[in-house]
Amino acid sequence: MVRSVKQRRLLHKTLPTTVLILATAIALAVAPQVSASSRAAAVTTASVSYRFDAQLVTGTYAGSTLHGWLSGSLDSTGLLTATLVTDVLGPMQAGCAPHVDFGPACALPPTANVSGHVLGKGASSSALLTAAGKGWRWLLAGAAVGPAGRWAGTLTKGSAYMGTWSLTPQTTTLSIQAGTRSDAKSKHKVVLVGAIDLNATADGWAVGTFSPADGTLPTVVQGYVNPQNSSLEVSIPMGKKGTILLTAWSRPGFGVLNWTGTFVGPAAGDYGTWIGRG
């Protein structure tokens, strides 16, 4: 078909506009898909901290209770990467001192690397984690318990059932600079100066460390924090000397908490007062 000069001029004018409209429409159709794909690929990471509890029913440490603290990161894909600090309570190998001797010959190492995945959200979530230290490796499999973000399940070593475990989210962190003063009638003069760092859950159970001011290695401690009346109890093991128990109440002062209380131990007949700030 032969177009007239007028028709050819009209086509020449409208063709670029038509192409531009089609290109714009295609770009608008593709752009949301690319944006959605970019958003879906983004992975976010949050810091997490949990109290760890386990009851061992078989093996070398049958009847022992483990307490500790797990802290690390959990990303939006469910990948958990953390460090676990534990303390053993209960029966141990002969010749091993509780809270002091760690390692395969006596108890679990004080730290372990934890990794694995959390599947699902909230009350329907489940967890499959691996805790590994020097010379040992445990598998922790479990599911959510209640609506507060707590998990619990079974603990295995290889194919052998070892016991049960639970993780409870942290709600409170305390860091206290503390020092003791023995009573005049105390059997021994007890000197305890250093930093008490505690992580507590909603039910008040706390696990943390005591770092002596003289620079010696920190000791794993545990206790109870009562947010209703601002009181706490902390049990600090002191090796073969025994354990010292601190009890205190707090009051605010210049943006921090001032703690005052009493202590008993580590030996029978030892007692006095202590103060803390932080």
Peptide bond into 266 cis (omega under 30): yes
Q: How many domains does the chain have?
A: 3
Same domain, 196 and 109: no
pLDDT score at 89: 47
pLDDT in tens, 34-89: 444 445 568 899 888 888 888 888 766 677 777 777 888 999 899 999 988 776 54
pLDDT score at 268: 92
What domain range includes position 101? Answer: 45-170
Question: Which tops the pLDDT comparison, 270 or 240?
Answer: 270
Same domain, 175 and 165: no
Percent over 90 (pLDDT), the chain: 28
d(CA 158, CA 4) in angstroms, rounded, equals 87
Same domain, 159 and 54: yes
CB of 82 closer than 8 Å to CB of 111 = no
pLDDT in tens, 104-158: 445 455 678 899 998 888 778 899 999 887 777 889 999 998 767 789 999 998 8
Residue 239 DSSP one-character state: G
Same domain, 233 and 186: yes
Same domain, 112 and 147: yes
Mean pLDDT (the chain) is 77
> Residue 212: which CATH number?
2.40.128.120
Say whether pTM exceeds 0.75.
no
Which residue type occupies 38?
S
Same domain, 191 and 244: yes
Same domain, 29 and 54: no
Greatest CA span in the chain, whole angstroms?
A: 121
Same domain, 93 and 125: yes
d(CA 90, CA 56) in angstroms, rounded, equals 10
Same domain, 244 and 272: yes
